[in-house]
A and B are shown apart, each in its own frame.
Chain A
Amino acid sequence: QKEVEQDPGPLSVPEGAIVSLNCTYSNSAFQYFMWYRQYSRKGPELLMYTYSSGNKEDGRFTAQVDKSSKYISLFIRDSQPSDSATYLCAMSAENAGNNRKLIWGLGTSLAVNP
């Protein structure tokens, strides 16, 4: 079993839809949870960062962390064609030497259709 599971999709939605993206994980030591957006042939771009449990909102994006269920979500409201990309969840724990290497999901490919 992989440490982080993420459905690769693809996910196709109409413009304006609410998008829900999810990851599950197995390592209870993970404390830092991130969502990155990656356009084709580009490096990942940080979207949202959450420490421990709870919700965080930034514009049209909301990140949720449920540590009891080992489940994280990213919601995109009023989705736009420019949101079409691959969304990767990543998480880390505090390791020796402060190495917060990220453990990644596979990424979910999202297409928002005009």
Chain B
Amino acid sequence: DTGVSQDPRHKITKRGQNVTFRCDPISEHNRLYWYRQTLGQGPEFLTYFQNEAQLEKSRLLSNRFSAERPKGSFSTLEIQRTEQGDSAMYLCASSPPTPQETQYFGPGTRLLVL
């Protein structure tokens, strides 16, 4: 399967714990996005990488959230000191460097904070 993959698919954690999610984009895609989606809502933009550079970060992303993309390949999203309000589906998307760039999504990581 050459699509976007995310790991883990599900995560249950207790409030206050740290969690880390991983995204492996489609190999030739240099752009990578993280979104968050709650039930009944469309996804909300969190952050964007072009290669290894993090070029934009939403103000929705508090300082408890950090994302990295070392070497411009896979990316990680870490949430420190999780809160119940962090419970959501975290989606990763990647896109190629073409004028008709479109974003392809992974299956998401569903986080539940107890």
Please list the residues of chain A having a beta carbon within 8 angstroms of any beta carbon in chain B: 4, 6, 8, 32, 34, 36, 41-46, 49, 51, 88, 90, 95, 97-107
Contacts and interface: CB of A to CB of B under 8 A. Distances in A.
Given A49-B100, A49-B102, A97-B50, A104 B56 contact: no
Contacts of B4: 43
A101 B105 contact: no
Nearest to A2: B42
Nearest to B31: A98
A58 to B, nearest CB: 13
Nearest to B9: A41
A38 to B, nearest CB: 9
Interface residues of chain B: helix, strand, loop or mixed (majority)? strand
Scoring B40, B97, B103, B110 by chain A CB atoms within 10 A of each residue's CB, the highest score goes to B103
A101 to B, nearest CB: 4
Interface in B82-103: 89, 91, 95, 97, 100-103
B68 to A, nearest CB: 17
B107 A102 contact: no
Nearest to B92: A43
Given A49-B102, A97-B56, A102-B35, 14 more contacts: A36-B105, A41-B89, A43-B105, A43-B108, A44-B105, A45-B105, A46-B102, A99-B56, A100-B95, A100-B103, A102-B103, A103-B45, A104-B43, A106-B42
**Contact size range, B:** 20 to 34
B33 interface: yes
A42 B107 contact: yes
Contacts of B95: 100
Interface in B1-31: 4, 6, 31
Nearest to A97: B55
B48 A99 contact: yes
